[in-house]
Each structure stands twice: as structure tokens, then as C-alpha cells.
Amino acid sequence: EIVLTQSPATLSLSPGERATLSCRASQSVSSYLAWYQQKPGQAPRLLIYDASNRATGIPARFSGSGSGTDFTLTISSLEPEDFAVYYCQQRSNWPSGTFGQGTKLEIK
């Protein structure tokens, strides 16, 4: 099973700052990686798929990059509503997949 490791576990930033979240796979997943956002009491929401494609309705301040084993989610300028938990998920062995353990983005 492919293991995804996210870092950091917690990221403390202020609104307007740039956020960089990392996801590393235990083996290559090509570009088959997604990012989700989850706010308290809500279901997750798909942000990025296939490493760098924004899902429908996702603001341009969210971007994804990477391939193989190393991936990054960047939020260019944090808005108050962006403080949440972020998960990466791989689907290289579809229809199976795994999630990372999450990064909590909190207000500094």
C-alpha cells in the first residue's frame, strides 16, 4: 500500500501570507494526486486533482505542483476561510487509493 506523508503537521500563518504544504509518497504515484480541504463539521472538498488541476469553483490562489513522489499545495495569499485541514490522496492504483494524515493550517 502506498503511504502518503504530509508535512508539516500544523502550519501557523497569518491572512495574506503564502502557505506551502507538502505531500510525499512512499513510491511514485505519477501525477495521480489530489488535495482536499476539510473545515470543522464539514465533509472534505476536492481542491486539486491530477497534481495541478483546480477542481470546479476553486479559487486561483490554490495551486498544486509535483509528480512522482513529491507534491506541493500552495495557497498564494491566505484568506480567513482557508484555515482548515488539508489532505492529499493518491489514486495511482485506482480503484484503490490512500490519504495522507493531513496538515492543519491555523491562524497565527
With CB under 8 A as the contact rule, the residue among 75, 84, 102, 105 that binds another protein is: 102
Cell numbers placing 101: 494524515
Q: Does 44 bind another protein (CB under 8 A)?
A: yes
**Which helix (H) or strand (E) covers residue 81, if one does?**
none
Stretch that binds another protein, among 11-19, 23-31, 42-50, 66-74 (CB under 8 A): 42-50
Residue 49 engages another protein in binding (rule: CB under 8 A): yes
Out of 55, 67, 69, 74, the residue judged to bind another protein by CB under 8 A: 55
- Cβ atoms of 22 and 1 closer than 8 Å: no
Taking the CA atoms of residue 57, residue 86, residue 68 and residue 99 in that order, the dihedral angle to the nearest 10 degrees is -110
Peptide bond into 95 cis (omega under 30): yes
Residues that bind another protein (CB under 8 A): 1, 32, 34, 36, 38, 43-46, 49, 55, 85, 87, 89, 91, 94-102
